[in-house]
Every structure is written in structure tokens, then in C-alpha cells.
Amino acid sequence: MIQKTFEINKINLNKYNFYLFYGENEGYKNEIIKNKFEKLYSNKVCRYDEKEILEKKGEFFNSILTKSFFENDKLIIISRATDKIKDIIEEIFLKKIDDIKIILSASILEKKSKLRNYFEKNKDTICIAFYADTNQTLSGIAINFFRENKISLSQETINLIIERCKGDRENLNNELKKIENYAKSEKRISIEDILKLSNLAENYNASELTDNCLAKNIKKTANILNENNYSNEDCILIVRTLLTKAKRLLKLQEEVKKNKNIEQVITNFKPPIFWKDKEIVKQQINHWPLEKINNMIENINEIELLIKKNSTNSLNILSNFIISQSTTSNN
């Protein structure tokens, strides 16, 4: 059954046990899962990646079907869900197990997606699309946060924060946490403070780092990594920026395959590519064949999962990956 994001608070969580949250807004999805579901289950939350389930289907079924005498209801969260898991979910649904609640978190699912269609047409399941936040929405979230926490920031500083979050609510929430901690000792926060807190120097932000990585400018990529005091907390912002750039590159390469004229494709691309970025985007197109981009997107998703599981070593994991992508030949 299709529901809208603004209807989430009206959903009777006791009535439905199967949920599909899909779309590009990872931050909003994670926020809802944490605040609406995880709080109710405390330490009874089981997390899986779809790949883990597909590789060990028997073990997954056993963990669901077998229950200890002392075990209560539990929440199962499956990340990076695709059509591959549809039959498994349908099999579990038909068993009508009352003591589990399953949430599938997926990226963008097309209208023809079997998983999406199953959840949309089933009156006993919930399907919600999470579309990207606009800068206006993110700005509203930030302004409310600062007002509630009595933190004084100029609109110019707020605009800088929003710009650096690249439309991702999770990135924004991470930045707001840093600012909240910093504000405990500082009454007013300047733009310079924000630059310092985000560990992203003005000339070498996440966008420039990932652009040079994809353009295989190894020297500049290495310089950006070495000259910036990135923290483990910055890794999600960087990997999400890299994923966004990779998906744009995929669309560009698909258009080039049809059109053959790189200059024309870049000029006509929507959303528009800023004039100063056109040269580096052209380098990216020349370095990345279509099939290699698909592999890279899959690898980026794997890296995001890995750094989430190894938060204390996430910076080393991500840095090694970025350097490897900057140097590996795609010819």
C-alpha cells in the first residue's frame, strides 16, 4: 500500500509488519527508522544487508523462524534492498509471523520494480518513497534546530552548511551534531568555525576531492586527502558525494553513447553542469567506460556499508578506496 512521507505519523505501527522505504533521501529514511521504529525495539534490532541474506538464506530464515522462550518481538532492517530479495520477503510474509517487523531500505526503484510493485499493491504492507530534500527544506530543519538549541548563526553561515550537505539530510544531521557540541563552549559561531568543524577547506571540499578522484588526477586527489584534516565523521558525506558524482557520470556516459558529442552532452545536461566544472567532467567521461561506472557504483555502495560497520577505521578505508579509484586503469 502506497503512503506519503507526511502520512508516516498516522500509520498504525501495530497493524503493519512489512515496510519498504525507497528513494535517494537516505537521511530522511534513517531518521524515520531510528525515531519511529528503533526506539520501540531498543536492543532487539537485527540489521542485514541484502547481499548477506542472499548468500546465507537458510541462516536468515532460521533467525526469523526460531525464537527463544525469553525473546520478544524484534525489528529486522534490511539495507540496499533490490528486486533480488522480493521472493524471500513474499515467502516470509505468507508465513504470517506476528512477532517480527521488517523494514527494507532501498535506493531508487523504478515503476517496473517487482519489489516496489509487490509492496504497493499489497494492502497489508507499507510502501513509501523518500525523495531528495530541497535546500529550502534543509534550511528549515537547520533553522529550527538552531532555534531550539539557542545557537546563534547568520543566514549566510546556514546557507554554507546547506550547500555543503549536497541535499542529503543525513549529512546535515551529522553537521548539526558537530555544531551542537561546539556551541557548548562558543556563544556565536562564524563561517570560519563552520569550515573548521566540517574539516573541509574552502578550496578542497568533498566535491573537489571526488571530482579529481573520478578524473583520475592522482596527485591532486592525494594532496586534498593529505592537506585536509578529515575525520571519520566526514566519511559518509564524502562517500555520498562520490556516489552522486558517479551516478551523474553514468547518465552522462549513456547520453554520450547515444550522441557521441561529449561537449554537446555536457552543455545540455540537466541539472546544468557549472561552467568551471565542464573540463573535469570531460576528463571523467574519457576515463570511465559505461560498464566500469556500474561496477564503481556497486563498489561505492560496498564501501559505505564497510565504513558504517568499521566507524573507527572508516577514514583509512575510504582514503584507500579513493586512491585506488584515482589510479586504476579503466582501459
- The verdict on whether omega for the bond into residue 271 sits within 30 degrees of 0, i.e. cis, is yes
pLDDT > 90? residue 280: yes
Same fold, 2-129 and 206-327: no
CB 155 within 8 A of CB 131: no
At residue 272, does pLDDT exceed 90? no
Nine-digit cell string for 84: 533480488
209 burial type by CB count under 10 A (0-12 exposed, 13-18 middle, 19+ buried): buried
More confident residue, 183 or 116: 116
Distances (CA, A) of 32 to 13, 17, 136, 207: 12, 15, 20, 27
Q: Residue 323 — very low, low, confident or very high, per pLDDT cuts 50/70/90?
A: very high
Query: Would you place residue 203 in the very low, low, confident or very high pLDDT band (cuts 50, 70, 90)?
Result: very low
- Give the model's pLDDT for residue 201: 43
The average pLDDT across 229-242 equals 81
State the DSSP string of 187-204: SB--HHHHHHHHT--SSS
Percent of the chain with pLDDT over 70: 91
| pLDDT band with cut points at 50, 70 and 90 for residue 202 | very low
Q: Where are the domains of the chain?
A: 2-129, 135-198, 206-327
Mean pLDDT of the chain: 85
Section 34-38 average pLDDT: 88
**What is the dotted CATH code of the domain comprising 135-198?**
1.10.8
Tens-digit pLDDT profile for residues 90-114: 999 998 888 889 999 998 898 999 9
Instruction: Pick the more confident residue, 98 or 69.
Output: 98
With CA atoms as reference, report the closest residue to 304 among 255, 235, 247: 235
Mean pLDDT value across residues 236-262: 88
pLDDT, position 126? 95
Average pLDDT (207-227) is 89
Domain 206-327 has CATH 1.20.272.10: yes
Residue 205 has pLDDT above 60, yes or no: yes
What does CATH list as the number for 2-129? 3.40.50.300
> Residues 30-55: what's their mean pLDDT?
87
Question: What average pLDDT does the segment 318-327 reach?
Answer: 91
